[in-house]
Amino acid sequence: MRLLFANPNTSKAMAEIMVSEARRIAAPGTQIDVCSAAFGSAYISTRGEAAVAGHALLSTIAEHLDGHDAVIVGAFIVPAVTAAAKEMCPVPLIATGEAGLAAASLVGQAISVLSIGAPSRRMTEETVAATGLADRVVSIRDLGLTGTELTDDQARADTMAIDLAQAMVADDRADVIVLGAGSMEGMARRIQPHLPVPVVSPVGAAVCMAEMIHRLRLPKPGAGSYVRPSRIDMTGLDPALTRMFRGD
């Protein structure tokens, strides 16, 4: 199958972190292509950035979608960034955040989310609510780092993550921990040996779920809240996105 990995921010470095993990976990025969937003923010942590990222995501999917069986969106904060793309995309679309939480719900009752910084906490809570798992998530804790700080000193970030995750297990009684940011991809493998509960990589979960959906031959819904709308004429958009709205 062919997967399109769509990065809704402009950071090529962030995209490479996520895609390298995606390709590591993908089954033989799965081809993963990557595209990043042409405009917007390098890291999404506020509602304003998320709103722009939603537009940028639609544009990059419209430009690169042809020939792909499914789309993975490298975003933990799901509703603010991916809702419109789920509606407009003609093939199944999975956000890494929803995939990570769904996978966690299968291996543990009490879920904790380990993120990097406080600014996106409210949107993380909204993501949890959108997945229907609010009553299962017992804590959301963050490292107090920026994405740049995390990647610049990986060893320090890993040590901080282990300490915080151990507190989640001891104090919050977490059964499973989900990494809550794309820049944290790869961390699950590094910190897992130091922890007594599973640590879920959202990107890895998204790849496996996209492959599962493809094998099950589940189509894009033709009715309901994510049904693709009929022709919509837009002005001022880039040509690829204009064609997507027209249904061309």
141-154 tens-digit pLDDT: 999 887 778 878 88
Residues 184, 153: Cα–Cα separation, whole Å: 12
Q: In the chain, count H helices and then E strands.
A: 10, 8
pLDDT value for 63: 97
Distances (CA, A) of 150 to 40, 143, 167, 187: 21, 9, 20, 10
Helix (H, G, I), strand (E, B) or coil at 224: coil
In this predicted structure, the answer to whether residue 119 has a pLDDT above a threshold of 70 is no
pLDDT value for 135: 97
pLDDT value for 106: 98
- CA trace torsion 82, 87, 88, 90 (10° rounding): 110
pLDDT value for 117: 79
Distances (CA, A) of 58 to 41, 63, 164: 15, 9, 35
pTM above 0.95, yes or no: no
- Domains, in order of start, for the chain: 2-96+205-246 (3.40.50.12500), 98-201 (3.40.50.12500)
Neighbours of 225 (CB within 10 A): 8
In this predicted structure, the answer to whether residue 118 has a pLDDT above a threshold of 70 is no
48-92 tens-digit pLDDT: 999 999 999 999 999 999 999 999 999 888 787 898 999 999 999
